[in-house]
A and B are shown apart, each in its own frame.
Chain A
Amino acid sequence: MGNGTSIGRVRGLGSAHSGAHHWLIQRFTAIGNLFLGGWLLFSLLGLPNYSYITMHDWLAHPLPATLAGLLVLCTVWHARLGMQVLVEDYVHDAGLKFASFAALNLAAFGAGAFGLVCAIRLALGGA
């Protein structure tokens, strides 16, 4: 381990032991998105029309409401991991990178919470 070039400073330190985790979760959520996105697609194609009554009656059932909540959580998690890679690749300033990750995490939690509350409200008859 030297203090010269950037590769020289990390050489010999060994693995960070955290690289595969992000990659694996990206795959797990991708599988979830394939099933849940497919469910949304075929459900929408199967509905007779897109009026409020039709949409609401469909989503107010427990299973569609649960799947809609899962769809939001799974896509938001997948999107959060994917956009992290975008920031890592294109944002090189340390402060701006930290701010981007902070904003990304807040947006992901906000989006997930909003989607869940909507699905629960539809299922429990608040709307």
Chain B
Amino acid sequence: MASAGVSRPKRPLSPHLQIWRWGPAMAVSILHRVTGNGLAVVGIATLLCWLGSLAGGPDSYALFQAQAGTWYGQVVLVGLSWAFFNHAASGIRHFLLDIGAGFELVANARWSVLTPLIAILATAACWAAVWLR
């Protein structure tokens, strides 16, 4: 047996993305991580910019509103709302998995496909309500 300090041969690591065949459950898991960390950085930054600009007074809020109204501002806001709905939908899926439900192959694949679709529908409904009023 190798003693401490002596270099050992590299042990095999657990297989990662390149090994597995893509499936709905894998895709929804990756989307959950991507949207969660996107919200953690860009979402909280935007939330704080919005709250901070309101606390700063009319001038700083006008600056926030002008940026939010540009094409890139709208892309960020629509993207954040999609990320929120997607993360919320797959988060609710996680709660159901936590109680032991939805592990059967057919049910698991069905809800894995449905969660991102529900998120896209919720995003579309949300922005339709904002833009069409």
Contacts and interface: CB of A to CB of B under 8 A. Distances in A.
Contacts of B55: 117-119, 121-122, 126-127
A118 B54 contact: yes
B37 A83 contact: yes
A118 B11 contact: no
B33 interface: yes
Contacts, number: 81
Given A52-B58, A75-B47, A27 B129 contact: no
Q: Decide if the interface of chain B is mainly helix, strand, loop or mixed.
A: helix
Nearest to A40: B47
A82 interface: yes
Contacts of A56: 54, 61
A34 interface: yes
Interface stretch (B1-9, B19-27, B103-111): B1-9
Contacts of B4: 3
B37 A115 contact: no
Q: Decide if the interface of chain A is mainly helix, strand, loop or mixed.
A: helix
Contacts of A72: 44, 47-48, 51
A86 B37 contact: yes
Interface residues of B, number: 34
Interface string A90-121: 00000000000000000000010011011101
A6 interface: yes
Interface in B115-133: 126, 129-130
The 6 closest A-B pairs by CB, nearest first: A79-B40, A118-B55, A118-B51, A121-B55, A52-B61, A52-B58
Given A41-B126, A118-B52, A122-B55, 15 more contacts: A27-B95, A45-B126, A45-B130, A52-B54, A52-B61, A68-B51, A72-B47, A75-B43, A76-B44, A79-B39, A82-B40, A114-B52, A118-B48, A127-B56, A127-B57
Interface of A: 2-6, 27, 30, 33-34, 37, 41, 45, 50, 52, 55-56, 59, 68, 71-72, 75-76, 79-80, 82-83, 86, 111, 114-115, 117-119, 121-122, 126-127
